[in-house]
């Protein structure tokens, strides 16, 4: 849980099969930034959640953690945004909201996803034929009754 805008993450195991609660977008971005420290080349992050649940806000924290000054925006109208990560590694932010279910190979998205960079995919349930062992599932849920976000993170084995 994020408390008083302070988050102390010790190691990658803090994220595996764990649930976090954030109250503000700043806390959600901060959690994304802490999570980013454990991403490596070839990792794929699947972000699940309804509209307004905080997927793009979480991605903003990841993008910022890699030193990008650009404020990450939803990629839903252009499908893919590209940012720098580290040592010739790119971050690909894919937002598939505007797509119907589609095979990964129909639009050439595999060139991004399997490029040995880091892919952050919103609405991944729209992508058929996706396979990866270097993946994370992140489920974000906005609880409007108590004004908080519940963020469950798990590593796919």
Note the pLDDT of residue 147: 86
The residue behind tokens 């080349």 is 41
Say if residue 126 is exposed, middle or buried (CB neighbours under 10 Å; 0-12, 13-18, 19+). middle
Note the pLDDT of residue 92: 96
Instruction: Give percent of the chain above pLDDT 90.
Output: 57
Could you tell me how many helices (H) and strands (E) the chain has, helices first? 3, 9
Other CB atoms within 10 Å distance of the CB of residue 82:
12
pLDDT band for position 136 (cuts 50, 70, 90): very high
* Residue 151 pLDDT > 90: yes
Task: Name 78's Cβ contacts closer than 8 Å, sequence gap at least 6.
Answer: none
pLDDT band for position 47 (cuts 50, 70, 90): very high
Q: What average pLDDT does this structure show over 28-38?
A: 94
* Contact call for residues 64 and 90 (beta carbons, < 8 A): no
Note the pLDDT of residue 104: 77
Q: What is the pLDDT of residues 54-106, one digit of tens each?
A: 999 999 999 999 999 887 877 667 889 999 888 899 999 999 998 888 887 88
Note the pLDDT of residue 4: 39
* 4 vs 39: CA distance, rounded Å: 25
* Residue 132 pLDDT > 80: no
* Contact call for residues 84 and 63 (beta carbons, < 8 A): no
* Contact call for residues 2 and 127 (beta carbons, < 8 A): no
pTM of the model: 0.88
Q: What average pLDDT does this structure show over 141-150?
A: 90
Domain extents for the chain? 12-156
* 142 vs 101: CA distance, rounded Å: 24
The CATH superfamily holding the domain 12-156 is P-loop containing nucleotide triphosphate hydrolases (3.40.50.300)
Instruction: Give percent of the chain above pLDDT 70.
Output: 92
* Residue 3 pLDDT > 50: no
């Amino acid at each position: 849980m994020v408390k008083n805008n302070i988050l102390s993450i010790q190691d990658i195991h803090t994220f595996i099969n764990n649930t976090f609660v954030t109250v503000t977008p700043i806390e959600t971005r901060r959690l994304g930034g802490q999570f980013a420290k454990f991403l490596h080349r070839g990792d794929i992050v699947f972000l699940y959640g309804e509209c307004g649940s905080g997927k793009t806000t979480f991605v903003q924290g990841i993008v910022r953690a890699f030193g990008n000054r650009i404020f990450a925006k939803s990629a839903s109208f252009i499908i893919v945004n590209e940012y720098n990560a580290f040592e010739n590694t790119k971050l690909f932010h894919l937002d598939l909201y505007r797509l119907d279910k589609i095979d990964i190979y129909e639009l050439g998205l595999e060139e991004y996803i399997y490029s040995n960079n880091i892919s952050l995919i919103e609405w991944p349930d729209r992508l058929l034929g996706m396979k990866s062992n270097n993946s994370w599932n992140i489920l974000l849920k906005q609880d409007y009754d108590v004004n908080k976000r519940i963020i469950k993170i798990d590593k796919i084995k």
